[in-house]
Structure 1
Amino acid sequence: MNDQKNLFNRFFSLLAKNRYFQVIGSLLFFILFSFALYLIYLDSEAIKEQINNDFNEQQLILAQQASSQLDFFLNNIDIQFKGLTKFLQIKGNNFLKDLFQSFIEQNKDLGIVDIGIISDKGIITNYNAINNIPSIDTTELLRLIKQNNKEFKMINNLHINNTDSNKIYITTEFILPLNPKEEHTRYIFSRIDLATLFKKLLSPVRSGKTGYSWVIDDRGIALYHPEREFIGKNIFEARQEKKPYVNYSKINSIMKEKMMKGEEGKEIYESWWHRDLQGKITKLIAFTPVRNKALGEGRVWSIAVVAPINEVAEAVDKTYIRHISAQATILLGMFLFALLIIAYQRRISSALKERVTEQEEYISSILKYSMDAIVFTDKDNKVKVWNRGAEKMFGYSAEEMIGQSFHKLIPPEIDAEAELASTRDKVIATGYMSNQIAPRITKEGRRITVNISRTLITSLKGDILGFSIIARDETEKMEIEQRIYNTEKLASIGNLAAGVAHEINNPLSVILGFTDLLLEKFNQNSPEYNDLKTIETNANNAKRIVENLLGFARITEGLLDYIDVKLCIENIIAIVKNTLFTNKIEYELEIPDNLHNIRGDAREFQQVVFNLINNSISAMKKTEGGKLKITAQEKGNFVHVSVYDNGEGIPEKIKNRIFDPFFTTKKVGEGTGLGLSLCYGIIKKFGGNITFKSSSKEDNPQLPSGTTFTISLPILEE
């Protein structure tokens, strides 16, 4: 009986202890479970914050890309406009119509609506424009001429117009004097429609699924916005008209205190609509100014890229809710709880990796397809990201540059350490540095000139993480400026050559005169007579060369006259004969004596033939000699003159550009890119045509290379 009683006591005692452990275990379980839920909440919030920040950083890169594209367009228009002015200063109005039509056709999709010439009295000539555009305010053009005082200011006041077709135009003029030194000079002007320009550049910019971009200026005028009724209006008033009961204090503060002052940054604000969505919507916004000298001092354009935050946080929220539900099953037991914790860690890690992978793919796509060099470095200027644009520009692969500094890109005559340190300090002090023009060296040793913009990258706490760098190759732009300078020098050299020829011709005439007198005093069989004959022969040769040079250098009046084809070509051959000989080039002429004269100016025709022969010589220099053949024949009412060489030929990829002004394949200093363009213009002026056939080693290595240019000019009617 006692044993049985003791057994019951032990049973109830053990049961009491088990209940005690169960309570303690349950409390511990709920504490651990609650703590785990709290950790999950913190983890989810951290992920949301990081993804939001990364997404906004991507939006900032999109805004910077759009700003860079706009900067490139404005610089390109500046170059084209100044190039047109220089060309017109040199060639006059000969090619004005074609040049203006070409300028409009090339740039109308980017907002160029018209171009013309205006006198200081307000008379407009040579006007070219697209259809259905706002009329020209001549008074405004004259006001700008007086205000700018013959200085080039690309972006002037903005004019907002609604046409009959309900299209909004935001136009501005840019004006440049043709001859600033003249008191009453003419001006070349053009207008650009910013609404068309921004639509072309910014409508493709999309952040996330439904994000978009918009642009305002320093007055708060919406230059571009997906809400069409906003364009051309004060954006503060336009928003208030759309939803008058909404508080816009946050976005208004961002625009007024940051965007309109030209600052760059990232923010979050509340909105009450997004495309077709209505209601309170939290948005991420990244903004950057357009930094271009064309805007002038004090003027600001700011590009913003926005997207709803719910698009970014949606994936994280789903993961968060899924894990909360999963943790409820841990009530089945501590063992299952531990297994679910492990599963949670694996799942959250997988979700994070997947999200990070998506971000990396997104950023990689931006870097991969950018035309500019985009580089990210750490705070010590060590390369962390090197995109394809950088590989193409500098020749170094990403594998060669990751972890390296920029020392190998900087020319040896520049102190690389000092330059990098100075640039780093300036960017840290100001937050960015734009339009730094600097020389660089590619992997192949080629020197290029680049335009570099740098931006400081910091963490949310303000710690310096590194720098983003965007570089654009400006070498071609510099070469164009050099060619324009060389063109001006050529005009001076022509005048100088004529003067030198006159100065040499005078003493030669004296030498020949006295030689003729001395010949009469000596017997024809005497040594003195033979010596004098030698002097006379060589002096006559020198005089003939000088006369040819003088005739070729003489400035043509451009009068339509007749051309003796054979005589003109023989005169040119007399000038270039020594050049052909020194370059080991054989020449052959097949020109019949009974050719009819053709219509045109003989000296301009000689200039065309001279340019074609020079191009042939350049093509045969690389093959170390060759053969030049010039033929002429009559067919119908035309005389056809052909210039053939067996040089390296013209590749297919550039055949459609060889008659473009300033296009050349020669190095800087060896050509201006105007030779064939001038030839084309001269022949067209005479009512003729110029064509060519060419086979290059690059396109057809198995075939003989060579080029034939054929000039066809109408026979002069007698």
Structure 2
Amino acid sequence: MHSLLKRQLRKHLPSDLEKHRGMVGFLEAIDKSYENHDEKLSMLQRASMISSDELYDANRKLQKEALQQKNILVSLENAIRSLTENLNEEELFGQNIKDAFNAEHLATYISNLATKVSEMTAEKDKLLISLENQNQSLNNYAQMVSHDLKSPIRNINALMSWIMDDEKEKFSDASRENCSLVSQNLTKMDKLITGILNHATMGETEEHRVSFDVDDVLKEIVQTIYVPENITFEFADNLPQMWFERARLEQLFMNLFTNAVTATENVEKGVIKIGYEPDEIFWKFSITDNGRGIPEKHQEGIFQMFKKLETTNNATGIGLAIVKKIVVLYEGDVRLESKENEGTTFFITLKKN
């Protein structure tokens, strides 16, 4: 027992009890009850501290989890609001989108949305099948019409040529000129039909990629088209080697080269430059001429079918539309910069993979 406590007890005991035998046992019992008191108190304090730390840590974890759950709910709410706004619906599944969402509403909405997405996917698959069948029918129709039209056109053109050879001495100058115009228009119609067929079937045939040097391909194209003596082609030194569908690249550049030649044929010294910009994702080309340029009012629709600036017999208005379709097929882009009487630059990108 603590000495002060023992002293206080003896101080207040009557003198006749202080030395009583029973009192000695009483004091010893009290003394035993205070044995290890400090040690037990320390243990209790430690236990209380540990429990407090555990409660603090548990409370922090609960707060963190609650914050995560709240962030998830907010993200879901924002996603749902975005979906509902895109669908232009003020109310979905019985709840106004301006009201606050709770977990139950979100779960119900997501379940219903999954069902709706599944239904839309099934409908989309039906539409794609229908569209594929329609495209196949259109392609078959285009090829049939092309064959049925081109055959008589070529026959008429051949007949006109024979008539001109056999009867040219009997024709007046005006008649000979009219026959020549007929032949030119028949040739133009043949090119027009070919262009329409190429545009309609673009991307339908199986792709066949090969490796080739772009410099060689472009120089071959220049040799196959009509280039007046006043026009020169300049090729960049860094033109790449490509793994690509060669026929489509030839078709793309042939159309662009033909347009550039037409734009510069009346320039005293026409120059057509082909540039290349290295890139990891895209093949990037540019075709620049110093020709008459394209008026700004005509630039926006220049890639549309039958949109043409020239009224010559050779212009069909399909060349740039085919260029556009090729670059879209290869996830690229085509744009132009042009000023009247200064020239035009076409920028072409084609995705590598």
Structure with greater contact order relative to length (CA < 8 Å, sep ≥ 6): 2
Query: If each structure's strand is expressed as a fraction of its own residues, which one has the higher value?
Result: 1
TM-score range, shorter chain: 0.3 to 0.5
User: TM-score w.r.t. structure 2 length?
Assistant: 0.43
Instruction: State which structure, 1 or 2, has the greater radius of gyration over its C-alpha atoms.
Output: 2
